[in-house]
């Protein structure tokens, strides 16, 4: 069962309306899709009949929080920013105000095998010019996601190594935090990807090699994905994470694209940290404001579950020395897959984005 979203495609051209909104503080993070609906009128057409929402105050821009607490880049050409522009163009100011709770926050860029070295260089370069750090998710391991909504990845081990090499060169000496391969370890542990054990050795070798290659970059921090508090016992992950290169990584990531509370995720991460040499960890807080869905079908609890909320905004000031950061790794408002009225994985789901923002505390 996947809890993830697909890899994205970079886009950096800023549409005219979005540029004007940027000047007035109304735009936010990065696009995943190269086609991305750059015309705000097209973005408005994609919204459909989104439910009306009560007016909400705009969230403070991350820059106001200080680069030490929130050092990550907010890409001004994101789907949430385009949705804000579309709502404003249509006169839907309440909806636009709600979505600013998403568009003004730094979120991860999901990098798949279709993202070139030049695209990574452009992305990290833009972050550097803004005085910020790029936050990246590498999501291209062969046979990712067990053939579910985000199936795909590199065609083979050699292609994956070549791709990681290009990503590393694209990052160069610029600052970047990398979350490495959501699901890759967990799907081996639970038998989803490799029920016969045939691919285990190759996958862990690829992850180790990716960690080593990325750590050759002088300003790159690497966190291996380590599942979530609802996906098995920490003890089951000790050896797999060691095989995947946790000793050479900076730490691990928990709750990626999931809904477990920050408290649950912290407890889970602390238990796991004690088993892997005291490594620090980051928590995905993008959609965990109300915790997981416990009322619906458990088999569908990962896919656009109703009643969820944005979680704590991204920060490195977590109050816990083992918790390196709260991050928005999953991009709020982008669909988990074609369920509960949503579009395919990774596409903008405006009604769901409005609900996440409306429910945020």
Identify the residue with better confidence: 133 or 191.
133
Identify the residue with better confidence: 53 or 80.
80
Place of tokens 């081996």: 188
- pLDDT reading at 318 higher than 70: yes
Q: Where are the beta strands (DSSP E) in 58-114?
A: 109-111
Q: Where are the beta strands (DSSP E) in 42-164?
A: 109-111, 134-138
Q: Where are the beta strands (DSSP E) in the chain?
A: 109-111, 134-138, 176-180, 220-225, 251-254, 281-284, 323-327
User: Which own/partner pairs from 90-96 qualify as long-range (CB within 8 Å, at least 24 positions apart)?
Assistant: 90/44, 90/47, 92/50, 92/52, 93/55, 94/52, 94/53, 94/54, 94/55, 94/56, 95/47, 95/50, 95/52, 95/53, 95/354, 96/26
Active-site residue, 183 included? yes
What band does 351 get if pLDDT is binned at 50, 70 and 90?
very high
Write down the pLDDT at residue 200. Answer: 85
- pLDDT reading at 24 higher than 60: no
Helix/strand/coil for 300: helix
- pLDDT reading at 50 higher than 60: no
- Write the Ramachandran bin of 322: left for phi over 0, alpha for psi from -120 to 50, otherwise beta: alpha
Write down the pLDDT at residue 198. Answer: 64
Give the burial string for 319-350 (b: 16+ CB within 10 Å, else e): eeebbbbbbbbbbbbbbbbeebebbebbbbbb
Mean pLDDT of the 274-295 span: 97
Looking at 225, 250, 284, 336, which residue is catalytic? 336
- pLDDT reading at 188 higher than 80: yes
The token pair that represents 50 in the structure block: 């989104």
Contact partners, residue 151, CB within 8 Å, separation at least 6: 144, 145
Asked if residue 89 lies in contact with residue 41, where contact means CB atoms within 8 angstroms, the answer is: yes
pLDDT tens across 80-91, in order? 999 999 999 999
Write down the pLDDT at residue 65. Answer: 52
Identify the residue with better confidence: 137 or 148.
137
Q: How many helices (H) and strands (E) does the chain have?
A: 11, 7
- Write the Ramachandran bin of 109: left for phi over 0, alpha for psi from -120 to 50, otherwise beta: beta
For 28, how many CA atoms within 13 A lie in the half-sphere containing its CB? 29
Write down the pLDDT at residue 148. Answer: 56
Active-site residue, 143 included? no
What band does 32 get if pLDDT is binned at 50, 70 and 90?
very low
Q: Report how far residue 163's alpha carbon sits from residue 7's, in angstroms, rounded to the nearest whole number.
A: 14
Looking at 77, 183, 225, 293, which residue is catalytic? 183
Q: Report how far residue 12's alpha carbon sits from residue 213's, in angstroms, rounded to the nearest whole number.
A: 26
Active-site residue, 145 included? yes
Looking at 145, 225, 284, 293, which residue is catalytic? 145
Asked if residue 180 lies in contact with residue 227, where contact means CB atoms within 8 angstroms, the answer is: no
Q: Report how far residue 280's alpha carbon sits from residue 322's, in angstroms, rounded to the nearest whole number.
A: 5
Give the distance between the most distant pair of CA atoms in the chain.
56
- pLDDT reading at 19 higher than 70: no
Q: Report how far residue 140's alpha carbon sits from residue 6's, in angstroms, rounded to the nearest whole number.
A: 9
């Amino acid at each position: 069962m996947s809890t993830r979203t697909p890899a994205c495609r970079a886009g950096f051209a800023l549409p005219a309306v979005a540029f004007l909104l940027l000047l007035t503080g109304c735009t936010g993070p990065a696009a995943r899709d190269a086609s991305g609906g750059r015309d705000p009128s097209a973005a408005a057409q994609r919204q459909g009949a989104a439910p009306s929402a009560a007016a909400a105050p705009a969230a403070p821009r991350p820059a106001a929080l200080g680069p030490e607490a929130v050092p990550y880049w907010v890409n001004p050409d994101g789907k949430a920013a385009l949705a804000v522009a579309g709502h404003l163009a249509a006169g839907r100011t309440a909806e636009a105000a709600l979505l600013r709770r998403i568009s003004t926050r730094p979120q991860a860029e999901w990098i798949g095998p279709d993202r070139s070295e030049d695209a990574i260089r452009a992305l990290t370069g833009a972050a550097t010019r803004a005085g910020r750090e790029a936050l990246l998710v590498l999501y291209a391991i062969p046979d990712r996601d067990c053939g579910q909504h985000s199936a795909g990845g590199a065609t083979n081990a050699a292609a994956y190594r070549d791709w990681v090499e290009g990503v590393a060169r694209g990052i160069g000496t610029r600052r970047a935090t990398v979350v490495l391969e959501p699901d890759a370890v967990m799907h081996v542990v639970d038998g989803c990807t490799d029920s016969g054990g045939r691919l285990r050795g190759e996958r862990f070798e690829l992850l180790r090699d990716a960690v080593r290659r990325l750590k050759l970059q002088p300003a790159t921090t690497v966190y291996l994905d380590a599942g979530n508090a609802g996906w098995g016992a920490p003890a089951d992950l000790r050896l797999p994470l060691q095989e995947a290169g946790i000793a050479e990584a900076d730490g691990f990531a928990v709750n990626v694209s999931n809904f477990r509370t920050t408290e649950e995720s912290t407890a889970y991460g602390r238990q796991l940290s004690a088993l892997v040499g005291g490594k620090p960890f980051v928590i995905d807080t993008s959609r965990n404001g109300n915790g997981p869905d416990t009322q619906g079908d458990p088999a569908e609890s990962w896919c656009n579950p109703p009643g969820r909320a944005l979680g704590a905004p991204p920060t490195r000031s977590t109050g816990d020395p083992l918790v390196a950061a709260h991050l928005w790794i999953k991009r709020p408002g982008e669909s988990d897959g074609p369920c509960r009225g949503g579009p395919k994985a990774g596409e903008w789901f405006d009604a769901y984005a409005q609900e996440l923002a409306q429910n945020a505390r």
